[in-house]
Amino acid sequence: MKYTSTRGDQSPKRFCDILLEGLAPDGGLYLPEAYPQVSDATLTEWRRVYHDDGYAALAFEVLSLYIDDIPAADLRALCEKTYTEAIFGTGEIVPLRHVEDDLWLEALSNGPTLAFKDMAMQLLGNLFEYELGRRGEQLNILGATSGDTGSAAEYAMRGKQGVRVFMTSPHGRMSAFQQAQMFSLMDDNIHNIAIEGVFDDCQDIVKAVSNDLDFKRRYKIGTVNSINWARLLAQVVYYFAGYIQATEPSTPTLGAEAPALPPEGAPTTLGRPGGGLVNTQKVSFTVPSGNFGNVCAGHVARMMGLPIAQLVVATNENDVLDEFFRTGVYRVRGSADTHETSSPSMDISKASNFERFVFDLLGRDAARTADLFGPQLAQTGRFDLSADPAFAQAASRYGFASGKSTHADRLATIRDVFERHGMMIDTHTADGVKVAREHLQPGVPMVVLETALPIKFADTIVEALGQQPERPPKFEGIEALPKRVVVMPADVAQVKAFVVEKCQ
Ligand SMILES: *Cc1c(COP(=O)(O)O)cnc(C)c1O
């Protein structure tokens, strides 16, 4: 399997070449030269694998189609080490919960930091340790976070050989729970840097350090941001697992209130044993989206042949993506135009993974993609595909649809799902449920990806329900734990000096 850049760089790369890299040298994003195709027979076999051997075995099947420079036995061992009940809370790893009628939730947030980013980041930690060990190299991961990404990265990299993490965050601006999650880590290789400033200051520092190529090379500075192909690939797996569960005659039940079977009168699933064609049933997914990483993994799964009807992109008030799928205009926002919302992990001004989809949409025209995401966006802050026949295919050929949810929608949805079904959902997942309900199609199961647990966004839950969210037992009292963090002004030189000191 060779990888290519969305902007046309021709030097062929293999998986481990791009694992530790961010952008391609031409500024584009990596994608496989072609998507491996999964036949009906293979999907049937994967159904058996998931049931008999578990999620880790399914992950190995999917990953091995894209990774041919890690011996199969090693890759399998890495998957088995990653996707365990001890780390993800259940043996099924990503259980499906029934909400109502055709609406389901896929639980992706039971990992160490209670957000879906653990699904990919935990694997990335093991892949990094493996590959760095093989090369005898070290890596210093420098990042900026306002919450979910940083904690997922730290929990994935803690104690890993050859890796240090330097995570900047805006001092005093994360929730008490998020600060406690990150700052209570005592591992020697994890360094929290609270910057006296806002999130943008943190990002600017990371950019300034990465742009100092001499420093970057000398101190092996790397990142783990959402454009990393390995992260995206790890996320493809749970679309298959979600599909398999949603097309079962009886879905493994979770809450006591969840019925084991779809409601009376629901169209039957053809996936039942003895039902002839096995995988003709289509399933739709709704994905709370920010940087378009999660839903891009759904696009990859669909391109591999997974029978997905719709991929519904749900945004919050920061509706860059909803605007594109409605109008064909992609318009990045300035910081004054980027709202702080109660689903903060989707507060984006541009969607950093979106280029991957546009590349496919334009028939993999790298020159055009390079022009749109290079000069066009730099000069005008927007591009317009509304008159291009390709735009209509976003829906007709690629299954995309979209919708938007506001603070009021979020509160109403959290309240409604709690009152009617006794389920507490987080603010991002609520955006997903709100938009999913607007895109239901008769007889097509709709799976909403649950991207975080409510405890991470307790203030809004209290606002919606007048009560505190449930807290998983292992997080009892974490706010009181000792904290390991250094506070620094927004000064690049001081951050660099700190990195140098820790590398001695
Ligand atoms: C990161 C994140 C998102 C957005 O995911 P993308 O891959 O950036 O689209 C949504 N919800 C939560 C809770 C997140 O942490």
From 451, 453, 457, mutation site for ligand 1 pocket: most ligand atoms within 8 A of C-beta: 451
For the ranges 217-226, 251-260, 364-373, the lowest mean pLDDT is seen at 251-260
Q: Is 454:469 a contact under the CB 8 Å cutoff?
A: yes
In degrees and rounded to multiples of 5, residue 310 shows phi and psi of -120, 145
Atom of ligand 1 nearest to the CA of 428: 11
Output the CA 361–ligand 1 centroid distance in Å: 23
Nearest Cα neighbor of 173 from 141, 150, 145 is: 145
Output the CA 149–ligand 1 centroid distance in Å: 9
* Start-to-end C-alpha separation, the chain: 38
- Structure confidence at residue 276 (pLDDT): 42
| pLDDT-based confidence at residue 263 (cuts at 50, 70, 90) | very low
Q: Is 224:129 a contact under the CB 8 Å cutoff?
A: no
Instruction: Give ligand 1 pocket residues (Cβ under 6 A).
Output: 115, 117, 148, 226, 288-294, 345-346, 428, 451-452
Output the CA 32–ligand 1 centroid distance in Å: 23
| Distance set, CA 331 to CA 230, 355, 384 (Å) | 27, 13, 8
**Would 25 be classed as within a structural domain?**
no
| pLDDT-based confidence at residue 267 (cuts at 50, 70, 90) | very low
- Structure confidence at residue 280 (pLDDT): 84
**Would 202 be classed as within a structural domain?**
no
Euclidean distance between CA atoms 175 and 198, whole angstroms:
14
Burial of 336 (0-12, 13-18, 19+ CB in 10 A): exposed
Atom of ligand 1 nearest to the CA of 348: 8
Euclidean distance between CA atoms 132 and 120, whole angstroms:
18
- Structure confidence at residue 279 (pLDDT): 81
Place of tokens 């603070």: 407
Output the CA 298–ligand 1 centroid distance in Å: 14
> Percent of the chain beyond pLDDT 70?
94
Instruction: Give nearest CA residue, ligand 1 atom 11.
Output: 451
- Structure confidence at residue 336 (pLDDT): 83
Instruction: Give nearest CA residue, ligand 1 atom 2.
Output: 345
Q: Which domain holds residue 340?
A: 96-113+236-465
- Return the SS3 of 346: helix
Q: What angle do CA 410, 414, 415 make, to 5 degrees?
A: 115
**Would 173 be classed as within a structural domain?**
no
Please report, for the domain that includes residue 374, its CATH number. 3.40.50.1100
Looking at the DSSP bridge assignments, the partners of residue 308 are 283
Cα–chain-centroid distance for residue 458? 21
- Structure confidence at residue 251 (pLDDT): 45
In residues, how long is the chain?
Answer: 504
Atom of ligand 1 nearest to the CA of 295: 9
Segments in 83-228 forming alpha helices (H): 85-88, 117-135, 148-157, 176-183, 199-211, 213-218
Output the CA 193–ligand 1 centroid distance in Å: 23
Domains identified in the chain, total number: 1
**Would 27 be classed as within a structural domain?**
no
- Structure confidence at residue 278 (pLDDT): 63
- Return the SS3 of 398: coil
Euclidean distance between CA atoms 96 and 247, whole angstroms:
11
| Distance set, CA 53 to CA 76, 404, 419 (Å) | 12, 38, 37
Q: At what angle do helices 458-465 and 407-421 cross, to 10 degrees?
A: 70
Instruction: Give nearest CA residue, ligand 1 atom 1.
Output: 345
Q: Could you read off the pLDDT of 87-110 as tens digits, one per residue?
A: 999 999 999 999 999 999 999 999
Cα–chain-centroid distance for residue 312? 15
Nearest Cα neighbor of 432 from 289, 260, 297 is: 289
Q: Is 152:224 a contact under the CB 8 Å cutoff?
A: no
Q: Give me the catalytic one of 117, 282, 434, 456.
A: 117
Residues 6+ apart with CB under 8 A from 484: 183, 184, 185, 186, 190, 192
**Would 274 be classed as within a structural domain?**
yes
> Percent of the chain beyond pLDDT 90?
81
Segments in 219-361 forming alpha helices (H): 229-246, 293-303, 320-327, 354-361
Euclidean distance between CA atoms 318 and 341, whole angstroms:
8
From 291, 350, 356, mutation site for ligand 1 pocket: most ligand atoms within 8 A of C-beta: 291
Cα–chain-centroid distance for residue 46? 22
- Structure confidence at residue 275 (pLDDT): 42
- Structure confidence at residue 474 (pLDDT): 85
Based on the residue annotation, tell me whether 81 is a catalytic residue of this protein.
no
- Structure confidence at residue 14 (pLDDT): 96
| pLDDT-based confidence at residue 265 (cuts at 50, 70, 90) | very low
Cα–chain-centroid distance for residue 31? 16
**Would 312 be classed as within a structural domain?**
yes
Supply the mean pLDDT for the chain: 92
> Does 43 have pLDDT greater than 80?
yes
Output the CA 499–ligand 1 centroid distance in Å: 28
Atom of ligand 1 nearest to the CA of 147: 15
Q: Could you read off the pLDDT of 176-224 as tens digits, one per residue?
A: 888 999 999 999 999 999 999 888 889 889 989 988 989 999 999 988 8
Output the CA 159–ligand 1 centroid distance in Å: 25
From 110, 116, 312, mutation site for ligand 1 pocket: most ligand atoms within 8 A of C-beta: 116
Q: Could you read off the pLDDT of 412-447 as tens digits, one per residue?
A: 999 999 999 999 999 999 999 999 999 999 999 999
**Would 64 be classed as within a structural domain?**
no
Output the CA 346–ligand 1 centroid distance in Å: 6
Segment (H or E) for 44: helix 40-53
From 345, 349, 434, mutation site for ligand 1 pocket: most ligand atoms within 8 A of C-beta: 345
| pLDDT-based confidence at residue 334 (cuts at 50, 70, 90) | confident
- Return the SS3 of 275: coil
Cα–chain-centroid distance for residue 479? 26
Say which DSSP state 474 is in. Answer: G
Instruction: Give nearest CA residue, ligand 1 atom 14.
Output: 345
**pLDDT average, residue stretch 114-137:** 96
Atom of ligand 1 nearest to the CA of 452: 13
Q: Is 479:177 a contact under the CB 8 Å cutoff?
A: yes
Q: Could you read off the pLDDT of 375-400 as tens digits, one per residue?
A: 999 999 999 999 999 999 999 999 99
In degrees and rounded to multiples of 5, residue 225 shows phi and psi of -75, 175
| pLDDT-based confidence at residue 249 (cuts at 50, 70, 90) | low
**Would 75 be classed as within a structural domain?**
no
